A and B are shown apart, each in its own frame.
Chain A
Amino acid sequence: MSDKHTVTVTVTVNGQVYTGDCEPRMTLADFLRHECGLTGTHLGCEHGVCGACTVLLDDVAARSCLTFAVQADGARITTVEGLAEGEQLNTLQKSFQEHHGLQCGFCTSGMLMCATELLRENPNPTETEVREGISGVLCRCTGYDSIVKSVMAAAGDQRDAVSEAGSAR
């Protein structure tokens, strides 16, 4: 901590280390966007209602507008930019593309991060569980049906990939 008004924050985002000075009041969302230049994390309401700013903080989904950057010092963060494998969209992203899981795209990063945690914890969710899992993210295009379809299809694709890998062994 350099002085009472500025703190130095170091975070590992998508495997890359970033260090920046900021006021303690800077939210993690602003730090990611302005200090790290990672603008895939979107800010909608900035008071913990819309969920667009959801990131994985030490592997746990959290709203980056309700966490101060200084609190994330030393943490490992995954943002939407960290989902693709190189230039290849991951299974969940591909599924959103194929099943029309995004319309205007504003909520998409929040939806993807929430769904990433959901499918990690529950690889075989029911539709109700998917709806509950993404309930913390608002889509103002109201495109929930396609989002739920995308997540359900991604879960199916992940299961297929696992069983293919199993039968190939």
Chain B
Amino acid sequence: MKPPPFEYRSAHDSTETVELLTEYGDDAKILAGGQSLVPLMNFRMARPSVLIDINQTQDMTGIREDDGHLVIGAMARQRVLERDPTAGVAVPLLPAALAHTGHTTNRNRGTFGGSLAHADPAAELPALLVAMGGELTVKGPSGTRIVPAEDFFLAPLTTTLAYNEILVSARLPRLPSGTGTAVEELARRHGDFAIVSVMAAVHLDSNGRADLVRLAAGGVDSTPIRLHEAESVLSGGTLDETSIDAAATAAADASHPVDDVHGTASYRRDMVRVLVARAIRSAIANR
């Protein structure tokens, strides 16, 4: 058998999950879609002594609109979210980003919350949450707390979640109609983790000036990063080649990639420049 032995518990809802996490402490891991955790266990890089399976829970699956926001349950399957008409209209970045997340078979099982809690710095959903300025709802023994996306991710595979907390849902602001969005991703093969990914959303006012700019990049730092400097360059102005180039340069300057087998740091920084410019242009084009 590939994975190390573990004790199996199946939780009925998020409250019981928190109780079990509290009971078992650091040795327990939550099992959601299993598309990242189980490979790590099969390689024996992860050896949790208890798995708390949340696939039977029913209280974290919904996808709904609420007061100008899209609220997505942590257990929403990525494939369901990708094809959800409400989600696709409210945040068109979602289906575009999910098209890059693994393969259909992974997304059939993989969950929205699982990808966020796993916090791979090159994964699409964490970068999307950061780009959108989303908020995560985290449940613990003493109730729930709200964490802004930029504060949720701390380091590769590390979030602000305490050992006995579970991510139950996330809220994304609905994008105003007429917002152009784009996902640009560089990967060796379709479905691989990104070498660099860029998420962009742009809305122009009636004078053609940008009144909403959202930019984030994945794969270029220890967490996905919001590209605030690049957004500032564009906000309030008309988007022409000069401002787009300046924003792309600002984005590259804000990236702190490292060398690895997939590419050098300087290559990644160059790709941030290229992909940010490309993403802004495609976002403008598909408004």
Contacts and interface: CB of A to CB of B under 8 A. Distances in A.
On whether the two chains bind one another, the answer is: yes
Interface of A: 1, 4-5, 7, 23-27, 30, 46-49, 51, 54, 60-63, 65-68, 70-71, 114, 117-118, 132-133, 135-136
Contacts of B190: 132, 135
B109 interface: yes
Nearest to A29: B2
A61 B5 contact: no
A114 B104 contact: yes
A117 B107 CA distance: 13
Given A48-B106, A62-B105, A117-B104, A70 B8 contact: yes
5 contacts: A48-B39, A60-B108, A63-B35, A65-B38, A68-B34
Given A25-B1, A25-B3, A135 B191 contact: yes
Given A61-B104, A62-B109, A117-B104, A26 B1 contact: yes
B178 interface: no
A27 B37 CA distance: 13
B267 interface: no
A30 B7 contact: no
Contact of A47 (B7, B43, B105): B43
Contact of A133 (B7, B8, B38, B104): B104
B12 to A, nearest CB: 15
Contacts of B79: 60
Contacts of B131: none
Residue among A4, A30, A48 with the most chain B CB within 10 A?
Answer: A48
Contacts of A67: 34, 38, 109
Contacts of B38: 27, 47-48, 65-68
Nearest to A136: B103
Given A24-B5, A63-B105, A65-B42, 12 more contacts: A1-B8, A24-B8, A48-B106, A49-B39, A51-B105, A63-B106, A67-B38, A68-B51, A70-B8, A71-B31, A135-B103, A136-B102
B55 interface: yes
Contacts of B39: 47-49, 66
Interface of B: 1-8, 31, 34-35, 38-39, 42-43, 51, 53, 55, 79, 102-106, 108-109, 189-191
Nearest to A131: B190
Contacts of A60: 79, 108-109
A7 B8 contact: yes
A1 B9 CA distance: 10
B8 A136 contact: no
B51 A24 contact: yes
Contact of A61 (B1, B43, B108): B108
A139 to B, nearest CB: 14
A136 B42 contact: no
Contacts of B191: 135-136
A133 B35 CA distance: 18
Given A65-B42, A68-B8, A71-B53, A46 B104 contact: no
A66 B35 contact: yes
A132 B101 CA distance: 12
Contacts of A118: 104
A61 B77 CA distance: 13
A136 B53 contact: no
Contacts of B34: 66-68, 71
